[in-house]
Chains A and B, each alone.
Chain A
Amino acid sequence: MGSMDNTAKRLLQRLVRRIPSQMLKTTLDKWSRLTAAQRQSMDYTESKWALTEKLLAICEENELTVKHIAELEMIHVIENPNLGMWYVFQLMDPQDDAHSVELTQFKEQFKSHLSELIRHVSIKIKKHTDEAVWIRIAWGDTFSRPNHLKPTYVVHYLQTPYVFLTSPTSKQKPLLSQALVLSTRYQAIKDANLSGRKLTAIRDLLMKQYLQVFPTKFPSPLAERNCVVSNLHIEKEQAGSAANRHQMACEAFGDGILPQLQSAVYKLETKFRDHTNKTMTERDEPFKCVVKFASTNLLESLRHSASSGVASTPVTPLLSSVPLKGKNYFVITDNGPGPSSQMKPSQK
C-alpha cells in the first residue's frame, strides 16, 4: 500500500482532467512537491491519461498524501477564480479591534474555532497576492473523515466586511458563519444577495473597482447656438437625446468595461396597477411574480438597453440598484420593509 489512498487518486485524476494541458506545467511548478528532475521528466504532449499515471507514480514515490493533492487543487482554484458559483456574505457590526485583525491571528483563530465546532474537518489557508485570504475546507462529520472531493472555498479580504463562498450546504453554513464572525471580530454575518460565476467581477462590483460616471447636469452650453435650418434643430435634438440617454445609462451602470455578472433576480410582490384594468387595480392582493434578467454580461446589456432606448431613461432604481448596492437578488414589496424586503419600488 502506498501513501495515495483512493480519494487522493481520484482527486488527482479529476484535477489533471480539469486543468488544460498547457496550464498543467505552470500549476505543477507552483506546487513545489516535485523535484526538478521529476518536473523535467514530465512530457506535456502526452495524453491526460498517461500524464495522470506518471503523476500518480511520482506521488507514490514522494509519499504524498491527499493533503498534498488538495494543495495542488487550491493552486488551480486560486489561479482560476472564475469557475463555479460564488455567493457573497457580509459581516456586520465590527468590534473595536476588527480593523486590526491580521493574517496570522485570523488563520489561528479560524482554524481553532472551526475545529471546535466540528470534529472532522480539514482546513487549508493561503494568502494570495491581492490581499485575499483563501480557505479550503474539506468537511467530515462525527463519524466520517473529511471529504476532499467536495470542498468549500472561502475568500475573505482582511479589513473588509465581504466573504465569498462556493457551494456551502445548509448544514455547513452556520458553522462556517460562526467561525468567520469570531475570527474576524465581527458580531454577525448576513447573506449579501449577490452571486455570480466570476469571483473577480462580483468583487469589483462590491469594492467599486471599475469606472463610474458621476451625474453632470450641465452639458456644454455652447451647443445651442447658430442653428438656422429647422431639421438641423431636429437632428440636434435627436443627437442630444441619444447623448442624454447614453449619459444616463453610464451614470446608472458605469462606463467602460463593466464587471461580468450573469443574472439578477427580482421577486415582485407588488400591487397590479393599470388604469385600463380596474378589476386588477382594485384587487387587494399583490401580483406575485419572479423576474430574472440573464446575459453573459448583465450590466453591459442593461446599459445598452438604456442607451439604445429599449429601456426608458432615467433608469429605474430597481435596475440601477444592482451596481449601486452590489446586489443581484431583490425582494420588492409595496409597503415598507417586509420580512426580507430589500427596497421599495419606484411608483411612477
Chain B
Amino acid sequence: MCGSAYKNRPQPNYCSCVVPVWVNERPVREILTCQSPRTTRTHPRTARRRPPWSFSVARTPTDSIMAQRRSKNKSYRQSYRSCLGAASRLSHTPGWTARRLNTSRRTKSHNITEKVNPEDLALLVKTEWQLSYVTPLYQFRHTQLRSYSRQLSAFITAEKQQGLAVEVEGAQTSFRVSFSAVQGLGETDDDAETVLLQIHSKPVFAGKDEAQKLVWSGWLTCINGNPEYLHLLPKDFTCLPLFGSRGAENLTSLVKSWFQQTFDCCFGPLEINQTCLQWLAALWTNCHIESSIQHLKMIWTLPVEPPLQITYTVNSQDVWELWNSVRNPSLESREEEEAARSIDIEEVTRFMQGLKSHFYRHFRLDLSAGRLSQVSSALGSAKFSGRIKMSNSRYVLTTLTLLTECALLKMPI
C-alpha cells in the first residue's frame, strides 16, 4: 500500500495499518498539482500552493483523488483529535469546544527571564498581538534565517514597488527584515524554536542620521505542541502553528504571502473561543497569589436588540477566594506540588458558574445566553477576535501553550 507512487505525508487515520512513508522531493508535488483537477472546492488562492500532503491519501490512484479530497478537512481534525488522550474526549465536557481542548493543564509559573534573551522577551510581552494559525512549514530551516531575512526584504520591496499592495509612499521607503530565533522559550525538545520577525523601515527623505524605525513585528511559535502529532510530521516539515503579528495590515499580508510561497503553508484567523477565554480567566486568577491580577474583567455580549455589552469586573482578592472555593478538594491529598500545578476543566466550569450565579442573583439575567468576548487582568488580555496581550513574562508559557493547542485545532488540513 505504501509503495504507491503517491507517497505522502502520513495521515494519522491510516497510521494504525500503514507505516507512514513520504517523499521529500519537490517534483512529486509538481506532478500532483498538475494531475489534480483545478475545479475543486479549495480556495483559489491557496490551491496552487497546497503542500504535497494536502493532496491526501497516499493509496489513492490519480483518478479518484477528487473523491478523496472531499473528506480531507474532516480527516485532519479527527486525526489531530485521535492524537489526544482518551481522557480528553470522554471526560465531562459541557460544550463541544471544550471537548477539543485539553481538559487539564499545568499552571507552573516559569521564570523564563534567565533562559530567554530579555530583549526578545520585552518584545513579546506588553504588546497586543493579532493571532493566526499556520500549517506546518515545508523545508523551513532555522539555519537559513539570514537568507530568509534577505529574501523577505527583497520580496517586500519588490511588492511595494509594483504598487500592488500599498499606497504610493510605500515605494519610497526601504525595508529591512530580520529573522531571529528566540532561544530558551520552547518547553520540550519537540517544540521547534520560536522565530521572531522584525521589519524596520526608514523613509527615503528622512535625515541621514535618523535610525530605522520598527514598523512591524511578528513571531511564529510552538509551545508544548502535542508530541504525538509532532512526531507524525514528516521530517521536512516544521510545526510553528501560532503566528502573532503587530503592525501595518499590508505588511502582515505581505509576510504571510511570502511564507505561503516559500514554505507551502497557509494562514488563517485564530479566534480565542469561549472555552479558551474561560481557561485564561481561571489560569490568571490562579496566579493571583504569586503576582497580583488587580482585578478580573470579563466582557459579555448579549444577543438582544440593540446588542447589550456587559462588563463584569471583580476584585482580585474576592475572585481568588471564589476560585479557591471551587478547586477540587481531592487534589489536596495528592502530592502537593503536582496538585498546585494542575487545573481541571471542571474547576474552570464551576468557577465561571459561580461568577454567573452571583450576577444572576442580582440582575436575573443569564450570562450564558450571551458570549464571553473578552477577558483581562493585570497579567494580560484576550479578545474573541484573536487579540492577545501577555503582560507578565512568568505566564507567557502557560498562555502560549493554550494558544498553541487552539492553533493546532483550528488548522484546517
Q: Are A301 and B315 within 8 A (Cβ)?
A: no
Q: Are B311 and A291 within 8 A (Cβ)?
A: yes
Q: Are B364 and A274 within 8 A (Cβ)?
A: no
Among B45-53, B247-255, B302-310, B336-344, the one that faces the other chain is B302-310
The interface size of chain B toward A, counting residues with CB under 8 Å, comes to 32
Give the complex CA separation of A272 and B307 in angstroms: 28
A1 at interface by CB-CB < 8 Å:
no
A272, A294, A315, A318: the one within 8 Å of B308 (CB): A294
Give the complex CA separation of A319 and B322 in angstroms: 25
Give the complex CA separation of A291 and B365 in angstroms: 12
Give the complex CA separation of A180 and B165 in angstroms: 60
> Chain A residues near B358 (CB, 8 Å)?
272, 274, 287, 289
Contacts A274-B357, A280-B321, A285-B318; is A316 near B306 (CB within 8 Å)? no
Q: Are B308 and A293 within 8 A (Cβ)?
A: yes
> Chain B residues near A194 (CB, 8 Å)?
none
Q: Are A288 and B304 within 8 A (Cβ)?
A: no
Q: Are A301 and B311 within 8 A (Cβ)?
A: no
A257 at interface by CB-CB < 8 Å:
no
> Chain B residues near A298 (CB, 8 Å)?
308
Of all chain A residues, which has the CB nearest B366? A310
B313 at interface by CB-CB < 8 Å:
yes
Closest chain-A Cβ to B328's Cβ sits at a distance in Å of 13
Closest chain-B Cβ to A276's Cβ sits at a distance in Å of 8
> Chain A residues near B309 (CB, 8 Å)?
293-295
Q: Are B326 and A277 within 8 A (Cβ)?
A: yes
Q: Are A280 and B365 within 8 A (Cβ)?
A: no
Q: Are A274 and B354 within 8 A (Cβ)?
A: yes
Contacts A280-B354, A300-B306; is A291 near B318 (CB within 8 Å)? no
> Chain B residues near A100 (CB, 8 Å)?
none
> Chain B residues near A285 (CB, 8 Å)?
318
Q: Are A292 and B362 within 8 A (Cβ)?
A: no
Q: Are A288 and B363 within 8 A (Cβ)?
A: no
21 contacts between A and B (CB under 8 A): A266-B362, A272-B322, A276-B357, A277-B326, A277-B354, A279-B325, A280-B321, A280-B322, A280-B325, A283-B321, A289-B318, A291-B311, A291-B359, A292-B313, A294-B311, A300-B306, A301-B302, A301-B308, A310-B365, A318-B362, A318-B363
The 9 A-B residue pairs whose C-beta atoms are closest, nearest first, are A288-B315, A279-B325, A301-B308, A311-B365, A304-B304, A312-B364, A292-B311, A289-B314, A294-B309
